[in-house]
Amino acid sequence: MTAAFGGPGPASPTDPAGACPYGRTTGASLLPPHEATGELGALDLFGTGFVRDPYPWLDTLRAEAPVHHDPATGLWLVSRYDDIRRVLLDPAVFRPDNAQHAITPLGVPALRLLARAGFRVRPALANNGSETHAGLRRVVTRFFNAQRVAAAVPVIERVADELLDTVGTEIDADGGSDLFGAFAHTLPCRVMMELLGIDGLDTATLVRWSDASLELFWGRPTPERQLELSTLVAEFHRWLTAVVSDRTAPEDSFVGALVRHRLPDGKLLDVQTAVGACFFVFVAGQSTTGQLIATVLRGALEESGIWQRAAHEEGLARAWVEEVLRREPPVTTWRRVTERSVELGGVRLPAGAELLLMLMGSGSDPAVFDAPEEMRPYRANARHHLAFGVGRHRCPGASLARTEAAVALRAAARRFPGLRLTPDAPPPPVLDLLSFRAPLRVPVSP
Region of poorest pLDDT, from 237-241, 425-429, 440-444: 425-429
Q: In whole angstroms, how far apart are CA 164 and each of 19, 174, 175, 177, 178? A: 26, 15, 15, 10, 11
The SS3 call for residue 69 is strand
Q: Which among 88, 118, 167, 109 has a CA at the least distance from the CA of 334?
A: 88
Any domain includes 17: no
What is the per-residue pLDDT across 259-306, written as a single tens digit (0 to 9) for each? 999 999 999 999 999 998 988 888 888 899 999 999 999 999 999 999
- What confidence category does residue 41 fall into, taking pLDDT thresholds of 50, 70 and 90? confident
Are the C-beta atoms of residues 437 and 430 closer than 8 Å to each other? yes
Region of poorest pLDDT, from 141-145, 368-372, 439-443: 141-145
The whole-model pTM stands at 0.89
At residue 191, the pLDDT reads 95
The SS3 call for residue 348 is strand
Query: What is the gyration radius of the CA atoms in the chain, in angstroms?
Result: 21
Q: Which among 330, 340, 365 has a CA at the least distance from the CA of 90?
A: 340
Q: Which among 248, 263, 405 has a CA at the least distance from the CA of 322?
A: 405
Please report, in angstroms and rounded to a whole number, the separation of the first and last CA atoms in the chain: 35
At residue 28, the pLDDT reads 33
d(CA 32, CA 42): 9
d(CA 44, CA 198): 39
Region of poorest pLDDT, from 23-27, 33-37, 222-226, 322-326: 23-27
Strands 75-78 and 420-421: unpaired
Instruction: Give CB contacts under 8 A, 24+ apart, made by 82-85.
Output: 82/367, 82/368, 83/344, 83/345, 84/357, 84/358, 84/359, 84/362, 84/386, 85/362, 85/386, 85/390
Percentage with pLDDT > 70 across the chain: 91
At residue 7, the pLDDT reads 37
Are the C-beta atoms of residues 436 and 332 closer than 8 Å to each other? yes
At residue 10, the pLDDT reads 34
pLDDT of 36 over the 90 cut: no
Range 215-225 average pLDDT: 96
- Containing 149, the helix (H) or strand (E) segment is helix 146-174
Residues pairing with 78 in the sheet: 67, 357
At residue 80, the pLDDT reads 98
Any domain includes 32: no
If one counts every other C-beta atom within 10 angstroms of the C-beta of residue 289, the result is: 29
At residue 1, the pLDDT reads 41
Range 361-379 average pLDDT: 96
Any domain includes 34: no
Mean of the per-residue pLDDT values of the chain:
89
pLDDT of 8 over the 80 cut: no
Any domain includes 28: no
d(CA 319, CA 406): 8
Strands 354-357 and 75-78: parallel
If one counts every other C-beta atom within 10 angstroms of the C-beta of residue 312, the result is: 11
pLDDT of 13 over the 80 cut: no
- What confidence category does residue 362 fall into, taking pLDDT thresholds of 50, 70 and 90? very high
What is the per-residue pLDDT across 397-415, written as a single tens digit (0 to 9) for each? 999 999 999 999 999 999 9
Any domain includes 303: yes
If one counts every other C-beta atom within 10 angstroms of the C-beta of residue 407, the result is: 24
pLDDT of 31 over the 90 cut: no
Any domain includes 21: no
pLDDT of 364 over the 90 cut: yes
Any domain includes 141: yes
The SS3 call for residue 365 is coil
What is the per-residue pLDDT across 236-256, written as a single tens digit (0 to 9) for each? 999 999 999 987 888 888 999
At residue 340, the pLDDT reads 97
Are the C-beta atoms of residues 216 and 22 closer than 8 Å to each other? no
DSSP string, 176-238: -EEHIIIIITTHHHHHHHHHHT--S--HHHHHHHHHHHHHHHHSB--HHHHHHHHHHHHHHHH
| Residue 400 domain boundaries | 39-445
Range 344-373 average pLDDT: 97
Residue type, 333: T
What is the per-residue pLDDT across 189-212, written as a single tens digit (0 to 9) for each? 999 988 888 888 899 999 999 999
pLDDT of 20 over the 60 cut: no
Any domain includes 149: yes
What is the per-residue pLDDT across 114-158, written as a single tens digit (0 to 9) for each? 999 999 878 888 999 999 999 999 999 999 999 999 999 999 999
CATH of the domain at 344: 1.10.630.10
d(CA 245, CA 201): 17
How many structural domains is the chain composed of? 1
pLDDT of 19 over the 80 cut: no
- What confidence category does residue 11 fall into, taking pLDDT thresholds of 50, 70 and 90? very low
Are the C-beta atoms of residues 126 and 99 closer than 8 Å to each other? yes
At residue 3, the pLDDT reads 40
- Containing 336, the helix (H) or strand (E) segment is strand 334-338
Percentage with pLDDT > 90 across the chain: 79
Checking phi first, is residue 197 left (phi over 0); if not, alpha (psi -120 to 50) or beta?
left
If one counts every other C-beta atom within 10 angstroms of the C-beta of residue 277, the result is: 27
